[in-house]
Chain A
Amino acid sequence: MIEVFLEWRFLTIAPCDAAEPWQLGSQDAATPIMQGIIDLHHDIFFFLILIFVFVSRMLVRALWHFHEQKNPIPQRIVHGTTIEIIRTIFPSIIPMFIAIPSFALLYSMDEVVVDPAITIKAIGHQWYRSYEYSDYNSSDEQSLTFDSYTIPEDDPELGQSRLLEVDNRVVVPAKTHLRMIVTPADVPHSWAVPSSGVKCDAVPGRSNQTSILVQREGVYYGQCSEIRGTNHAFTIVVEAVPLKDYGSRVSNQFILQTN
C-alpha cells in the first residue's frame, strides 16, 4: 500500500508543465503572473494556519474545561473590554493583509504595461481549436491559420500524455510579450494554461485579451475549463521556443500553408 502511494506521489515521471497524478500543489510557474499566484497562495496560507491553530486551541480548551465533574460551575464572565477590542481589531486587520497583495496581483494581471510584440488568436471550435497568427498578413485572405486537434485516446505515441497532446502545438517565443486574443466560433470555450497562470473565457461574439510573458522554453499543457457540447475539444498545448528559432518555425509553417 505504502509503495503504491510513494509511486503515485514521487516516482511518476513528472512532466513538470502538465498535470500529474495525485498532484497537490500548483504546476511550476512559467510566467511572472503564475509566480505571483503561487506567492499569494503561500501568503494566504500563513494566515490560514495562524487562524486554524488559534481557533483549534480555543475549541479544544473549551471542550476540555466545560466538564460537569471536573468543573461543575462554569465561570460567569459577561463582559471584558480588552478582549472585546482585541477580537474586533484583529479579525478586521487580517483580511486587509490578505486583500492588499490580492488586489495588487489582480490588477497587475489585467494591466497591459508594454506593447505586445505578437498577437495570437485562439479561436475555439467545439471539436478543435484554431490559432491565427495574423501580424504578418498583407491581405484579408492570406493568414497563418492552423487547427489543433486532441490526439484521440487510442493512438497517442509512446511518451505522449493521454488526452493531453495535440497534433499542432501553439508555437510562441519565450521572453516576449504576447497578446492572446481568445474567442470561440461556436460554443463557449476557455483558454487555460495552468503553468502560465492564464485562464481566459471565450464567449461567442466577444474577443477577450490576456497577456503572457513566458520566461522559459518548454512545452506547457492546459485544458479547457468550459466544456460545452459533446466531444468538446479541451486540450491546449503551448510550446515556447527561443526567440531566434521562432521566426523560422513560423515561416516554415507559413510556407507549408501557402504551397
Chain B
Amino acid sequence: MAEIELKTAPADFRFPTTNQTRHCFTRYIEYHKCLNAKGEDAAECQKFARYYRSLCPVEWVERWNEQRENGTFPGPL
C-alpha cells in the first residue's frame, strides 16, 4: 500500500475565497442530490463523496449524517 494516488478536491471557481465552509457544504449536498437522482449506488456520485470528505471536518459530516437520519438537515436535498 506504499503507492498512494495524490488526488484531492480541485480548486472550485465558485469558492475562490479563503472561506471554504460553503465549498464543503455544497459538495456534501451535491453528493446526496446525486444519490437521490441516480440511485443509491451510482458510481458517478462517488467523486462528490471524495470531494466532501477531503474538504469537510469529520465532525461536521457526522453531525450532518445524524441530522439527515432524523430529518432535521437544514440544506436542500
Contact of B57 with A132 in the complex, beta carbons under 8 Å: yes
Contact indicator per residue, chain A 236-259, by CB within 8 Å of chain B (1) or not (0): 000000010011101100110000
* A224 to B66 CA separation, bound complex (whole angstroms): 32
B18 touches A255 (CB 8 A): no
CB-based contact B18/A110 at 8 Å: yes
Whether B18 pairs with A135 at a CB distance below 8 angstroms is: no
Q: Is A210 an interface residue (CB 8 A)?
A: yes
Q: Are B2 and A247 in contact (CB under 8 A)?
A: yes
Chain B residues near A246: list those with CB within 8 A.
4
The CA of A178 and the CA of B54, in the complex, are separated in Å by 12
Choose among A117, A134, A207, A210 the residue that contacts B7 (Cβ–Cβ < 8 A): A117
B interface: dominant SS: loop
Residues of B within 8 A of A251 (CB): 1-2, 4
Taking the closest CB of chain A, its distance from the CB of B24, in whole angstroms, is: 6
A135 and B20 contact, CB distance less than 8 A: no
The contact string, 1 if C-beta is below 8 Å from chain A, for chain B 1-27, is 111111111110000111111011000
- In the complex the two chains form, is A207's CB within 8 Å of B55's CB? yes
- Contact partner of B21 (CB less than 8 A), chosen from A115, A119, A134, A205, is A205
| CB contact under 8 A between A112 and B16, given known A119-B8, A247-B3 | yes
Q: Does B65 contact A (CB under 8 A)?
A: yes
| B-chain residues with CB within 8 Å of residue A112 when the two chains form the complex | 11, 16
Sorting the interface of chain B by its residue count into under 10, 10 to 19, 20 to 34 or 35 or more gives 20 to 34
Q: Is A183 positioned at the interface, with any CB of B under 8 Å from its CB?
A: yes
Check A250–B4 contact: CB distance below 8 A.
Answer: yes
Partner of B19, one of A119, A206, A247: A206
**Nearest Cβ on chain A to B31's Cβ, whole angstroms:** 11
Binds B, one of A94-102, A136-144, A189-197: A136-144
Within 8 A of B (CB), among A170-228: 173, 176, 179, 181, 183, 185, 200, 205-210
B40 within 8 A of A: no
Closest CB in chain A relative to B11 CB, distance in Å: 4
Chain A, Cβ-Cβ closest to B6: A117
Q: Is B8's CB under 8 angstroms from A118's CB?
A: yes
- Whether the pair A123, B57 counts as a contact (CB closer than 8 A) is yes
Look across to chain B and name the residue whose beta carbon is closest to the beta carbon of A248.
B2
**Cα separation A143 to B61 with both chains bound (whole Å):** 12
Alpha-carbon distance A140/B58, docked complex (angstroms): 7
Q: Are B2 and A210 in contact (CB under 8 A)?
A: no
B20 touches A116 (CB 8 A): no
Of A118, A209, A246, A248, which is in contact with the most chain B CB atoms at under 10 Å from its CB?
A209
CB-defined A-B contacts under 8 Å, sample of 9? A119-B55, A135-B6, A143-B53, A181-B24, A200-B18, A209-B19, A209-B23, A243-B6, A246-B4
B residues contacting A by CB (< 8 A) are 1-11, 16-21, 23-24, 50, 53-59, 61-62, 65
A residues apposed to B, CB below 8 Å: 110, 112, 114-119, 121, 123, 132, 134-137, 140, 143, 145, 173, 176, 179, 181, 183, 185, 200, 205-210, 243, 246-248, 250-251, 254-255
